[in-house]
Amino acid sequence: MRRVLTVQLARFGDLAQSKRLLLSQIRDAGNEVHLCVDRSLVHLAQRLYPSAVVHGLPAHRGDGGPGEVFAACRSCFAALRELDFAEVYFLNFSPLSFACAALFNPEQCRGYARSHGQDMRSTLFSLAFNLMRDRRFAPVNLADLWAFLHKDPVAPEKVNPIARPAATGRIGIIVAGRHARRSLPPRALAACVQSVFRAGGGPRLLCLGAKEDQPAARRLKRELPPRIAERLEDLTGKTSLADLPDILRGLDMLLTPDTGAMHLAAHLGIPVQAFFLSSAWCFETGPYGMGHRIWQAVRPCSPCLESAPCPHDTACGAPFSHPSFTAHLAGKFSAEWPADLMGCVSALDDFGATCTVVDGDNPYAEAARELRAGLAACRGLPGADVGGMTARNAAFLFREKDWMLPGNWNYA
């Protein structure tokens, strides 16, 4: 038996996005797959990956104080060390992740490692950071990037089921993501909800979210016409993360910004209508699998930097309330299309997940396609094309040091 561990200390959306990597590990004969997550996500991780052994670390803000965090952490580390892993996959570029990596020899580690007291990133992740120099051309979905740490990742179509409505007459609405700027303004969301409501023949609407989303849910309800508002059930703050899979499983569709719930819905095969704006970029973190729609704001400043203040009053939210868009959402023909919006369908190719633009124009499509081919070529990945490594790719994918100096650390 060969034990492998994946350390995924980010949010539950990231946990769902780790699926292609974890399925690849699970598929390999003789592997015993372990997963280390924040302790609040242990139960969810067990539900998502029932064949994996899940370990919990206090990686997120919680109730415990520093002493309790130390104790829990040390106990978890002692258990992990005992297990003598053949490979340990670190997925997060975070100081907490590097602290965990200090437990293992760099030869065991994939993704990130600590070598001679120095935090290191692998060749693949260095390349990913190079790509982030201009996110407009993003050629790879994060779920695929993580999967490429594995030598032979499972085929993209094996990851999530093709999305199909549950035929329950229920539509879920995630009113807000963790980052307010990445969520639709209440009025725009209300316009979208009305359109979908009409197109769906008056379904039940379930407003989903945490307690802190309740004000946003109330605002949404106020923005809706009474006959629609009365069909809306506000469940924000009334359900837990553990309830979410069952709730999502019973939906015909989920309206959402780029959230963990979106990835969970994709995992379950529930169709998603996702609104991507601000720093969210569907070519990086769009829903994985077939059968989803993504509406991506595209302005000259898209995708922006999450941590920087917006000098444009979040103008990228405006096209989502444009009449031609809401008409489109309602299933009506409209000759117009908002200039700052792309309508995409989720798609898969040999390489992984992508978004195909079917409404509006993607000004970066050609460059992204070329980079995708280049990335596949240089990593020997599925979909590799010997002509992929163009001069432009060579300059963009790599920094000079990557060509000329020995790699810091070459594991994946």
Residues lying near other proteins in the complex (CB under 8 A) are found at: 57-59, 61, 65-71, 73-74, 77-78, 81, 94-96, 98-100, 102-105, 116-117
Q: 96 vs 367, which CB is nearer to other proteins? A: 96
Amino acid letter, residue 110: R
Q: Are strands 341-348 and 353-359 parallel, antiparallel or unpaired?
A: antiparallel
Taking residue 34's Cβ as centre, other Cβ atoms within 10 Å add up to: 20
Closer residue to other proteins in complex, CB, 78/395: 78
Omega before 303 within 30 of 0, i.e. cis: yes
* Closest distance to other proteins from the beta carbon of 355 (Å): 32
* Start-to-end CA span in the chain (Å): 22
Token pair 């029932």: residue: 50
CB of 84: closest distance to other proteins in angstroms? 12
Q: What's the length of the chain?
A: 412
CB of 87 to other proteins, least distance (A): 15
Minimum distance from residue 386 beta carbon to other proteins (Å): 37
Smallest distance, other proteins to C-beta of residue 400, A? 15
Name which of 38 and 340 has its Cβ closer to other proteins: 38
The CA–CA distances, whole Å, from 362 to 191, 294, 365, 370 equal 24, 13, 5, 14
Give least dist CB 66 to other proteins, A. 3
- CB nearer to other proteins: give 64 or 323: 64
The β-bridge partners of 355 are 346
Q: Which is nearer to other proteins, 109 or 220 (CB)?
A: 109
Q: Which residue has the tokens 């969210």?
A: 280
**From the CB of 103, what's the least distance to other proteins, in Å?**
5
Q: Which stretches of 184-312 are assigned E, i.e. beta strand?
A: 204-208, 232-234, 253-257, 272-276, 293-297
Q: To the nearest whole angstrom, how small is the minimum distance from the Cβ of residue 101 to other proteins?
A: 9
The long-range contacts involving 242-251, CB below 8 angstroms and separated by at least 24 positions, are: 242/43, 242/44, 244/44, 244/208, 245/44, 245/47, 247/172, 247/206, 247/208, 248/172, 249/166, 250/166, 250/168, 250/170, 251/165, 251/166, 251/168, 251/170, 251/171, 251/172, 251/206
* CA pair distance 313, 278, nearest whole angstrom: 11
Can you tell me the distance from the alpha carbon of 345 to that of 360, in angstroms, rounded to the nearest whole number?
12
Taking phi over 0 as left and psi of -120 to 50 as alpha, with beta for the rest, 25 belongs to alpha
Decide if 103 contacts 10 (C-beta within 8 A).
no
Q: Between 108 and 236, whose beta carbon lies closer to other proteins? A: 108
Would you say 73 or 345 has its CB closer to other proteins?
73
Nearer CB in complex with other proteins: 104/325:
104
Task: Give min distance, CB of 114 to other proteins, in A.
Answer: 8
CB 120 → other proteins: shortest distance, Å?
A: 13
* Closer residue to other proteins (CB): 35 or 192: 35
Strand order in the sheet with 353-359: 232-234, 204-208, 170-174, 253-257, 272-276, 293-297, 341-348, 353-359
d(CA 232, CA 274): 19
* AA identity, residue 204: R
Nearer to other proteins, 70 or 129 (CB): 70
